[in-house]
Structure 1
């Protein structure tokens, strides 16, 4: 548990006696800290039940003991520790700002849900479960054109692989089962209009991937069943867009100057999105 759980922030001032879960060398570990960890670890509560609070408390005590030892050794002033604290604070504040902006997102209307449902037949009204064969090839841009022609005229996975080999490609294939909603939209839309035995080619760096439908089983989802998932998706999209718009506004208003080697590459470097993960 130690290292997995993250202790709540230390509170300034005395903790009311009724809120003290444990006292470690005169330092309080509060009930609030235990509850905060449990709120972030719902699976722990589900698996450990009533014992989960005690397990969390013991982990917090371990953290407090280690923290006290670190302070006694002067590690609180270690440059790496200070840098990490500042980075953590910056990340927490940025996330809190994003969460506050995202909380302004409104719900979806019935018409919006209907439009989304109707615009994605491959996900809902015409949803299918697929058995696919993925065939990967290495190819230049010119060779991809040839491979695409082979994919379009081939009828079935075996014929595709045989034709690719005859044309000098070295195909590597695998088969898998996938529901429509588990496919990237860039794959789903072309595959939704294809029939068993047909293939669709998708270029990628250094080559291409070709997907052949081995079998497709109709498994439609009606509007009523799909509505909760659509509502959740549209809300998430609204939140994402609100945060993206806010970050764009903040970046435009901010005075940013780059130094050193960053100054030379700043003009061509893409801006980090609001959900970008910044390594520390």
Structure 2
């Protein structure tokens, strides 16, 4: 195999089982795509797609190690291009993939495509101290309904890019996510849903899920009201999240930040968060 494989050498098939050597798991209802090389026996690549057009997710990608050792990133990109072409012809507007920070294969495939978001995590010190000047209290049942409606709308707008620009689909996704994550409202287990306060005046809110993974609390939402921004309350709010995580018995704090939110990304990095994975849209190149 040459080091720069010609695209017309490869055939994408959807009538073959996932190669056993790939180790890929096939979720119920997923589509298995297998790539063959016309000049060699056996598959050289495979992909697992879930979802329905216009929104598809690349759940897994495999390239045969010996073939990759010869052709390297060129083969990975050739397989990726075939998968993207199939997704596009099926009617997909978005083909998202979560790329781990050390996933060499997917980093090659996703290079040059739009970043939809980043997942970040940090270690929380055992002696974390509540921030001076910013307190919190539990949200009340009377406050939950208006807050939920407002946040569903805001979350849908944030998710618009991930929904192919379709606000209706983004709203449906937001409703599903809120129903899944807050099935019992304020009584949902392992959940801190609080108002951030200065004195007794609300200045924002914070939503944290505890034990989302071993030792992991996860910030689902944090916001400082616009009238109170620019005074360091966003940074203080994240310290509150650390305090809540430690009180719940977790020693790590994770979150997701949307691709266009550069201000939040800089804030989190300055507070010690590191990127664990990046979500890309493989159908949206960022440049030539």
Q: Which category of TM-score, normalised to the shorter sequence, fits these structures?
A: under 0.3
Q: 1 or 2, which has the higher helix percentage? A: 1
| TM-score calculated relative to the size of structure 2 | 0.24
Query: Higher RCO, 1 or 2 (CA under 8 Å, sep at least 6)?
Result: 2
TM value normalised by structure 1: 0.24
Larger strand percent: 2
Please say which structure displays the higher CA radius of gyration. Answer: 1
